[in-house]
Amino acid sequence: MYVQEEEAAEEEEEEEEEEEEEEEEMVDPLETIRAKCEETEHCVHYKEKLEVCEARVGSRSNTEEDCTEELFDFLHARDHCVAHKLFHKVK
């Protein structure tokens, strides 16, 4: 009787592991669309500006400059692209 209980417990653990693996395979469509939008010409332009700014600010030891404007421009361009694609997938 004890052996059967152990086997049942092992089977339950295997089922739980399979369920966890299935959950890990789920991908957020927002992340996928964001990655695709970041590769568009419009977003690449703003991303390059942001990277140039970050390099410039990072190379200086004493500066008040930050890259907030460049970051917001990039995020705005990416989110604008995402908005047009994401809501077609929402049910």
Phi, psi of 33 (to 5 degrees): -65, -40
Residue 40: DSSP 8-state: S
pLDDT higher than 90, residue 4: no
Per-residue pLDDT tens over the stretch 8-57: 556 666 666 666 666 667 888 889 999 999 999 999 999 999 999 999 99
Instruction: State the CATH class of domain 27-88.
Output: mainly alpha
- The continuous run of DSSP H or E covering 4 comes out as helix 2-24
Domain boundaries, the chain: 27-88
Question: What is the C-alpha separation between 4 and 20, in angstroms, rounded?
Answer: 25
Mean pLDDT in residue range 58-79: 93
